[in-house]
Chain A
Amino acid sequence: MNETRADMEADPEVAPEVLKARFGRDIARDFDLDDPMFNDRFDEVLTFMVNKCPISFSKVGTGYHLVNTNEQVRRVAQDWRTFSSAKGYMPNRPEGLPYLMPEESDPPMHTNWRHKLNPHMSPKVIATYEEVIRQDCNVLIDTFIEKGECEFISEFGALLPGWAFFKNVLGVPIDDLAMLVEGVEQGTFALPAEERPAHMARVFTYLDTHLKWRATQPKRGDVIDTILEGVIYDDGTEAPWDHKVSILVDLTFGGIATTTFVMSSAIHYLAMHPEVRQQLIDDPSLIENAVEEFSRVFPPVIALGRTCTRDVEVAGTEMKEGDFVMLTWGAASRDPRAMEEPEKIDIKRETILHSTFGVGPHRCIGSNLARLELTTTIEEWLRRIPEFSLREGTAPVYVTGFLRSMRELQLVWPK
């Protein structure tokens, strides 16, 4: 295991020509999150990066560093003064993409909003959604259980998180979900990247309209009313309207773009591992721990960025003020320096340390909701469809950038 940039440079396995022969590019010095090779050899690349490249670099666009170890990711994520979110989380940010609050802001502005929003997303409040989510799992399963087959993503995985978020948090009809999911997906993965802002714009327009409409309605005391109420920033000014819209966009983005991947990967894993399935059926109290382990090894948010506010050194690499730095959450969650046998998927792990939901002040505000959706899905799926497998001759289809998503998962079970 290499600890610093110097260790990495001295390691013959990380020599440029060795990497080019093995991965088709020098992933230590010129990594690309959008490289199809990364999509195809995801686990292998992440494991190599965390073991061999404590820090790596990309020459794509204006270039960016990637911080890959558990300890350094935590250090950088917690030090928001040196590593600012205010210039965005995307490397080579396309022109015209509006900034998202609270994600792309720093304290104290960020703290103002989080204080306001956190009470709506706490474990206690989220727990009250459990019955609705459980019902929705069953409504969805009812639509295909008799067929003995389904395409999991379009028939369940892309729907449940949206339903859970729309019904319980946003309070909007689920009819418009497909359009928003499409907008968010294309806004994230569309290539060339210059096309992404136009897709995101649709999402902004829709939510802006919704927020304006809600401002004319009687108060419900929900998160929308809280957003409308707004916050006063430390300089005494009120949060402007576009900040409010972007809060709603960020929540929606998180609410529909991420949980699907953990869910689909978990169901895929269970389809392939009947013995683990049986353990969970025999003892459903293991499911919560399994969800934590699945979140660790199937991260939908691979890496998000920060901008250096001053010159700084990380793991032996000098970074300059203005440099862009990606925090590779997905690598930090499989760091052998921080956990035993990270490459092994073990639902009975004693302690599970991971950074799938981020680290530092921007810790995912939806983490409690995501965990509830995942637990409930596995509980209800195994109760209704205890035996299932991958359709023969098919394989899951993935797409990867700074997020990872599954596009197709064909399942079959005895009718």
Chain B
Amino acid sequence: MRVKIDGEHCTGHGRCAKYAPNVFILDDDGYNADRGNEIDVPEGEEENAKRGMKSCPERAITLVAE
């Protein structure tokens, strides 16, 4: 599973990291540290990642088609 974090739309709600701390890391400002990039979701973390995606008020995290 691969996801993209939108660089403009992430505004630092931090919900993604709450639900999936092993997938989404926040930077020192509290924004998704990988915004603007795509990342691979580690095996076994898919469900957490999905919860994080669905809770993002900006819908800033989207699935990347493999």
- Asked if A123 contacts B55 (CB within 8 A), the reply is no
For A124, the chain B residues whose CB sits under 8 A away are 26, 28, 30
Nearest A residue (CB) for B58: A359
B30 near A361: Cβ-Cβ < 8 Å: no
Residue among B13, B26, B57 making CB contact with A122, cutoff 8 Å: B26
Considering only residues 1-38 of chain B, those with a C-beta below 8 Å from chain A are 9, 11-14, 17-19, 26, 28-31
Could you mark each residue 341-359 of chain A with 1 if its beta carbon is under 8 Å from any beta carbon of chain B, else 0?
Answer: 0000000001111110101
Cβ of B6 to closest chain A Cβ, rounded Å: 10
Cβ B14 vs Cβ A368 within 8 A:
yes
A288 CB contact (under 8 Å) in B13, B18, B55, B58: B18
- A119 adjacent to chain B (CB < 8 Å): yes
Instruction: Give the contacting residue for A118; candidates B9, B12, B54, B59; CB below 8 A.
Output: B12
Q: With CB as the reference atom, state the residue of chain A lying closest to B50.
A: A351
Cα distance, A353 to B13, chains bound together (Å): 11
In Å, the complex CA distance between A398 and B18 comes to 32
What is the bound-complex CA distance between A293 and B32, given in angstroms? 22
Contact across chains for A363 and B19 when beta carbons are under 8 A apart: no
Residues of chain A contacted by B51 (CB below 8 angstroms) = 350-351
Query: Is there contact, CB below 8 Å, between A74 and B57?
Result: yes
A360 within 8 Å of B (CB atoms): yes
Give A351 to B31 CA distance when docked, in angstroms.
19
| Nearest opposing residue in chain A for B18, CB measure | A288
Interface members, chain A 60-101 (any B CB < 8 Å)? 74, 78
Are the C-beta atoms of A78 and B28 separated by less than 8 Å? no
Residues of A within 8 A of B9 (CB): 78
Residue A56 lies at the interface, judged by CB distance under 8 Å to chain B: no
A351 contacts B55, C-beta separation under 8 Å: yes
Inter-chain CA distance A115–B31, complex, in Å, is 11
Q: Is the C-beta of A207 less than 8 angstroms from some C-beta in chain B?
A: no
> Which has the most chain B C-beta neighbours within 10 Å: A351, A359, A360, A367?
A351
**Per a CB cutoff under 8 Å, which of A119, A350, A355, A368 touches B57?**
A355
Which chain A residues border B11 with CB–CB below 8 Å? 359-361, 363
For A119, the chain B residues whose CB sits under 8 A away are 28-29
A121: CB under 8 A from chain B?
Answer: yes
Q: Give A319 to B9 CA distance when docked, in angstroms.
A: 24
Chain A residues positioned under 8 Å from B57 (CB to CB): 74, 353-355, 357, 359, 363
Residues of B within 8 A of A368 (CB): 14, 30
Query: How distant is the Cα of A122 from the Cα of B29 in the complex, in angstroms?
Result: 5
Within 8 A of B (CB), among A367-398: 367-368
- For the complex, give the distance between the alpha carbons of A374 and B59 in Å: 25
Q: Please, which residues of chain B bring their CB within 8 A of the CB of A115?
A: 29
The listed residue with most A CB atoms (<10 A of its CB), out of B17, B28, B54, B57, is: B57
Separation of A74 and B19 alpha carbons in the complex (Å)? 21
B43 to chain A, nearest CB (A): 21
With a CB–CB cut-off of 8 A, which chain B residues contact A363?
11-13, 57-58
Q: How far is the CB of B33 from chain A (nearest CB, A)?
A: 12
Q: Residues of B with Cβ closer than 8 Å to A?
A: 9, 11-14, 17-19, 26, 28-31, 51, 54-55, 57-59
List 5 A-B pairs, minimum CB-CB distance, nearest first: A122-B30, A118-B29, A363-B11, A351-B54, A351-B55
Known: A122-B26, A123-B14. 15 other contacts (CB 8 A): A74-B57, A115-B29, A122-B28, A123-B17, A350-B51, A351-B19, A351-B54, A351-B55, A353-B57, A359-B57, A359-B58, A360-B11, A360-B58, A363-B11, A367-B13
Task: Sample 6 A-B pairs with CB under 8 A, ordered by A number.
Answer: A122-B26, A124-B26, A351-B54, A351-B55, A357-B13, A363-B58
